[in-house]
Structure 1
Amino acid sequence: MTASETAAVLDALEAAGGPDCARFVGGCVRNAVLGREIADVDIATTLTPDQVTRALEAARIKAVPTGVEHGTVTAVSNHKPFEVTTLRRDVETDGRRAVVAFTTDWMEDACRRDFTLNSLYARRDGSIFDPTGHGVADAKAGRIVFMGDAEQRLREDHLRSLRFFRFLAWYGRGEPDVTALAAITRLKEQVAKLAAERISSEILKLLAADDPRAAVALMAQTGVLAVIAPEAQDLARFEGLVEIESEQLFENDAVLRLAALLPDDQLAAGKLAERLRLSNADRDRIVAALSPTPELKSWMSPREIRRAVYRLGPQAFRDRAKLAWARAASTATTPQWRGMIALGEGWTAPAFPLTGDDVIKAGAPKGPLVGRVLREVEDWWIDHDFIDDRLSAIEKLKAVVQGLAY
């Protein structure tokens, strides 16, 4: 917030609108108050989008009209983006999108925001404008409280139900706000009207928190989880995975945590991923993680582990091992699971030494039979623990080909 590129944006705005025409707002202020890392710096201003654009261009700062209908211009200063948004008030909302009017009233702008800890503004000198008078206290105490009437905020934007749980997971402490939970429960069905991309984005952000277990449990209790993902019912395995990641110092893995909530049903998982418009990579990973075979056990031998890594691939093996570990719910087997994953991560699967050309040279006719022979010899090669002897593999190939009945 004090970086030179940030100062350049504020200098440009103040040159056009005078002192205090622009303030830091939202997450950067909240995180500064809490001493947490700041990812993005957002700025609120009394200037209109046209005035913001002219002010930035006059200072030779790139201005990108990313959302001018809602008052947002992105300033790109020294290759870093800053969202600059004109103060606004809602004119009309339908729970998915809003029609806004611009204003110069900081309080009016604050009243349309979601939570008190996100409705904080800071001037360049570090002084804070706290519209409710308790936003800073709420942030420090971990209270996620809606601005004004909770039900009204939720009707303005149905996504705020999911945002409540996300901020609870990241910033919440103590007992959750009962008024907020009651309003969310009453309006839970409205969440289904949201665009799938907005839902999945919030869910993955929530699941990436250090410990989202309490938030997800509340989502289930209020019925919100059943609305957006009725398949997500395995809270025990999900909670076990979060505990493992925390205690074993694994990275927080939002995609695998989502998989942990689902049944071992690849078809159902694929349909959920499609419905939530997850990326192809995330969809494929979740489906692979929920394959019922081969079944992984903590007592598998190194040879069996290598075979599983080869069959599944490193990512799917690691995911399957963590999910099986999470379901086991026993600390007694922790060393075995940890060792299994370490062995899988430390072993690089060799390339199968034969090709289709080798099969044909051995005397097999071209066609589907070539693939069948290759699979049979590959199975033998795997059973022999990936024997590093091409000549032995060729001899086996010849034996298989000679035994074929054309």
Structure 2
Amino acid sequence: MADTLPAAQWTQRADLAKLVAALGMDHVRWVGGCVRDTLLGIEAADIDCATTHRPGTVIDLCRAAGIRTVPTGIDHGTITALLDEGNVEVTTLRQDVSTDGRRATVAFANDWREDAARRDFTINALYAHPASLEVSDYFGGLDDLAARRVRFIGDARERIAEDHLRILRYFRFQARFGDRLDEEALGACRELAGTLKGLSRERVAMELLGILSLPDPVETVQLMDKSGVLAVILPEARRNEMACLVSLVDNEQAQGRPPEAIRRLAALIPPIRPIAEAVAARLRLSRAQRARLVCAAERSPDDADTPRALAYREGLTGARDRLLLAGADASVLDGWDVPRLPLKGGEVVARGVDKGPRVAQVMQAVEARWIAEEFPPRSRVEVLLEEELSRL
């Protein structure tokens, strides 16, 4: 693996050069994902940098250079610089003072290696000089990147004890960047899986959904299952549900559908509404995510028989989820807009029906027949209305 960053487009951004000039070339290094991904030839999604300056100094230097900042994580040394081509997180070098597996107390530091030592994986502890693009590697991250190996810095158990969420991060990074399993890392995750119970539900949900959002998470989820990790964070997942996830991912890929984490989460739990509601509550999912998970849990073998009627009742997203979970073709919904019933209650009243339950009864009867006939035009709805009125 090269020890110098290739000249990726982001390394030549004028706004980043302005930030570096403001902070001083010797006080800044690009770090983390942007370095790792660029070395792998992957487009960097986020640009982060580390600095020897304290947060207050970062704010002052940026202000003097006309760069706006937001103190997004100032207690932990992070300032966000608002730049024209994308914001950048600027974090002061740190060392851990104390940790309890859920949060850390940090002190600011001046040594790049000391800052690297508190990070999780060797491939995330790579720093690049903004001028020379030379990579500083303190723990063998370049070799691990070349070997496609995800390895904790130092003792894996100690790193996990500092932050239990690193167990889930390990599996997510293994899925993205790992070909070879690091037995020490896997053993530590297996041994300390129970510590995940002490984490906030939001943090667990964030990592779990991140794993399920990957192009093909099946092998990783199976590894989590064998390691006893999945049983801690999603005890509802059983062998049948694992098979459902395999089938779903195969179906998504066959139909060219992008990965959807909530749909895949639905595949991992039994299709029972109360279970879906309990999982959504435990993981603190948003209202929209909860509704989608519950909709998927109410799937039926009959869904594939009337896909457009399903979309009319549940919306296009819910219908696609249920079709894909059923192994059915969701393309019938592509380019189709869910129609609205071309009939208003006032029209029924105008035909002599008293306001109240009778109007609702007629509307529901017309709508049911309109759906069954696959949404015919207004002219047919008028005929259906006449027929229903004749039965009163």
The TM-score, its normalising length taken from structure 2, stands at 0.91
- Residue in 2 aligned with 1:2? 12
- Residue in 2 aligned with 1:223? 228
Asked if 1:275 is matched to 2:293, the reply is no
Are 1:197 and 1:277, in contact at CA under 8 Å, matched by a contact in 2?
yes
Aligned length in residues: 379
How far does residue 108 in structure 1 lie from its aligned partner after superposition? 1.1
Structure 2 residue identity aligned to 1:377: V
How far does residue 111 in structure 1 lie from its aligned partner after superposition? 0.9
Structure 2 residue identity aligned to 1:287: V
Q: Distance in 2 between matches of 1:172 and 1:155?
A: 22
Task: State which of 200, 218, 221 in structure 2 corresponds to 1:195.
Answer: 200
Q: Distance in 1 between matches of 2:342 and 2:80?
A: 54
- Residue in 1 aligned with 2:369? 380
Q: Distance in 2 between matches of 1:211 and 1:84?
A: 32
Asked if 1:366 is matched to 2:376, the reply is no
Structure 1 residue identity aligned to 2:219: A
Q: Distance in 1 between matches of 2:336 and 2:67?
A: 50
Question: Which moves more between the two structures, 94-103 or 54-63?
Answer: 54-63
Structure 1 residue identity aligned to 2:184: T
Asked if 1:266 is matched to 2:266, the reply is no
Q: Distance in 2 between matches of 1:190 and 1:213?
A: 23
Structure 2 unaligned runs (5+)?
Answer: 1-10
Asked if 1:112 is matched to 2:118, the reply is yes
Q: Assess, with a 3 A threshold, how the Cα gap between structure 1 residues 363 and 268 changes in structure 2: closer, same or farther.
A: same
Q: How does 1:124-135 map to 2 (within 5 A)?
A: 124=130, 125-132=132-139, 134-135=140-141
Q: Distance in 2 between matches of 1:286 and 1:345?
A: 21
Task: State which of 50, 60, 65 in structure 2 corresponds to 1:44.
Answer: 50
Q: How does 1:240-319 map to 2 (within 5 A)?
A: 240-293=247-300, 295-297=302-304, 300=305, 304-319=306-321
- Residue in 2 aligned with 1:334? none
How far does residue 49 in structure 1 lie from its aligned partner after superposition? 1.2
Deviations 1:62-120 (A, max 9, x none): 12211121111111222621111111110011111111111111111111100000011
Asked if 1:350 is matched to 2:352, the reply is no
Are 2:252 and 2:324, in contact at CA under 8 Å, matched by a contact in 1?
no
The TM-score, its normalising length taken from structure 1, stands at 0.88
Are 1:49 and 1:68, in contact at CA under 8 Å, matched by a contact in 2?
yes
Asked if 1:27 is matched to 2:33, the reply is yes
- Residue in 2 aligned with 1:204? 209
Question: Which moves more between the two structures, 354-363 or 119-128?
Answer: 354-363
How far does residue 389 in structure 1 lie from its aligned partner after superposition? 4.1
Are 1:170 and 1:210, in contact at CA under 8 Å, matched by a contact in 2?
no
How far does residue 402 in structure 1 lie from its aligned partner after superposition? 4.4
Are 2:307 and 2:323, in contact at CA under 8 Å, matched by a contact in 1?
no
Q: Distance in 1 between matches of 2:117 and 2:391?
A: 80
Q: Assess, with a 3 A threshold, how the Cα gap between structure 1 residues 46 and 259 changes in structure 2: closer, same or farther.
A: same
Q: How does 1:225-240 map to 2 (within 5 A)?
A: 225-233=230-238, 234-240=241-247
Asked if 1:11 is matched to 2:17, the reply is no
Are 1:294 and 1:308, in contact at CA under 8 Å, matched by a contact in 2?
no
How far does residue 294 in structure 1 lie from its aligned partner after superposition? 6.3
Structure 1 residue identity aligned to 2:16: T
Structure 2 residue identity aligned to 1:182: G
Deviations 1:222-260 (A, max 9, x none): 222121121233111112222233343221222211111
- Residue in 2 aligned with 1:333? none
Identity of aligned residues (%): 44
Q: How does 1:140-159 map to 2 (within 5 A)?
A: 140-159=146-165
Q: How does 1:28-177 map to 2 (within 5 A)?
A: 28-78=34-84, 80-124=86-130, 125-132=132-139, 134-174=140-180, 176-177=181-182
Deviations 1:182-223 (A, max 9, x none): 211221121122122211111122112122111111111122
Are 2:94 and 2:109, in contact at CA under 8 Å, matched by a contact in 1?
yes
Structure 1 residue identity aligned to 2:211: L
Q: Distance in 2 between matches of 1:219 and 1:369?
A: 56
Q: Let me know the Cα RMSD of the aligned residues.
A: 1.8
